[in-house]
Amino acid sequence: MSPQMIDRLISAFFDTVLMVSASAGIAVVAGIPLAVFLVISGPGGFFPAPRLNRVLGAIVNGFRAVPFIVLLVALIPFTRLVTGTTIGVWAAVVPLAISATPFFARIAEVSLREVDPGLVEAAQSIGASRWQIVRHVLLPEALPGIIGGFTITVVSMIGASAMAGAVGAGGLGDVAIRYGYQRFDTTIMVVVIVILVALVSLVQISGDTAVRRLRAR
């Protein structure tokens, strides 16, 4: 492998990490409030808003239904509006975040729903406000599940980021397609796969460790 190729791989690796972490950050910031709202505004929740709940639920399902590669292209006008460009890392972050947020929100929602209603009742009985119930009961109690769900989200985003080459965002997936596949460079292909496997394993192991620590108490 030439030194240029190694440089290209290193830079592609950082592009992938940047794309995934920026959109994962957005997914957390947007997804957790979305999940909380879906839980507390739904049937049996303590902040009933059935109409808004159904509308948000439908939007979430809509985004979840569209394959990422389609979303990537369909969102181009919106991406241009937000980032001012349609190519590069940041142009990929927009569709990645928009695709990951509903995905993560649904997983976080399941964990939040599993919090024993008795705990919410106990919090109400000590005079907790709704926000305090979310802050001190729902989120801390669902945290292991949310972290587990975040791990799954990040892993699937690493996969999705490989398609970001379609908008010229670069990244490991792009390198593998352009050099490994189109130029029949098996070495590059193998190296990219090894790096991706290592990256995914690292994410999964960190997530699992965090969950195990939280559950052990």
Partner 1 sequence: MTGALAIGVSERSGARVVPDVSVRRIAGTVRFEGLGKTYTSSAGEVQALSDINLEIEAGEIYGIIGRSGAGKSSLLRSINRLESPSEGRVLVDGEDIAGLNEAGLIRLRRRIGMIFQHFNLLASKTVRENVALPLLIAGVPKDEAATRVAEVLKLVGLEGKEDTYPSRLSGGQKQRVGIARALVNRPEILLCDEATSALDPETTLSILRLLRDINRRLGLTIILITHEMSVIREVCHRVLVLERGQIVETGPVWQVFARPQHDATQALLAPLKRDLPADLAARLRPRAESLTDLHVVELTFAGEAAPDLAALSAAINGPVRLVQAAVERIEGHAIGRLVVLLPGRADLARLPLAARSLGHVAADD
Give me the residues that bind partner 1 (CB under 8 A), please.
116, 118-119, 121-129, 132, 136-137, 140-141, 143, 214, 217
Cα 88 from Cα 12, distance rounded (Å): 12
Residue 132 vs 186, nearer CB to partner 1: 132
Residue 14 vs 46, nearer CB to partner 1: 46
DSSP state of 181: I
Residue 68 vs 150, nearer CB to partner 1: 150
Question: What is the smallest separation between the CB atom of 206 and partner 1, expressed in angstroms?
Answer: 20
Question: What is the smallest separation between the CB atom of 213 and partner 1, expressed in angstroms?
Answer: 12
Residue 146 vs 195, nearer CB to partner 1: 146
Question: What is the smallest separation between the CB atom of 101 and partner 1, expressed in angstroms?
Answer: 25
CB 179 within 8 A of CB 191: no
Question: What is the smallest separation between the CB atom of 82 and partner 1, expressed in angstroms?
Answer: 36
Q: What residues contact 116, with CB distance under 8 A and at least 6 apart?
A: 141
Q: Report H helices in 66-138.
A: 68-74, 76-83, 89-113, 117-125, 130-133
Q: What residues contact 172, with CB distance under 8 A and at least 6 apart?
A: 9, 12, 13, 15, 16, 161, 162, 192, 195, 196
